[in-house]
Amino acid sequence: MSVRDRERNGSGPGKPKKRRRKHSGLLLIALAVGAMVIVIGVRCAALQKTLTESQAKEAELTAELKTETDRTQQIEEYGKYTKTQKYIEEVAKDKLGLVHDDETIFKNEDSSK
């Protein structure tokens, strides 16, 4: 090959070959794609972990909500019960010692000491 042929092909002594440029460009593209795949994989793993934690928290809060709903219902039922005549009579008998006119109270002798 003569000097003129080398100059035409661009493969002179100070110039890189065209093939090398093509391969280096492909190499850079492959590295960029590889880096993107790695970053996406890491992000995906982090999101999966966050999703798992969120699902566990949701299950915990759902159970807590059910417990509190049940407790609210019990409190409402107790509130209704406290407004009944039966509850008023029980409190009067237990705490105040009151009885109906037709009731007789029997006490053990040992309990009076």
Summarize the confidence of residues 24-43 as an average pLDDT: 95
With bands split at pLDDT 50, 70 and 90, how would you rate the model's confidence at 34?
very high
pLDDT in tens, 55-112: 999 999 999 999 999 999 999 999 999 999 999 989 988 888 888 888 877 778 775 5
pLDDT of residue 94: 87
What are the sequence ranges of the domains in the chain? Answer: 3-112
State the CB neighbour count (10 A cutoff) for residue 68.
Answer: 10
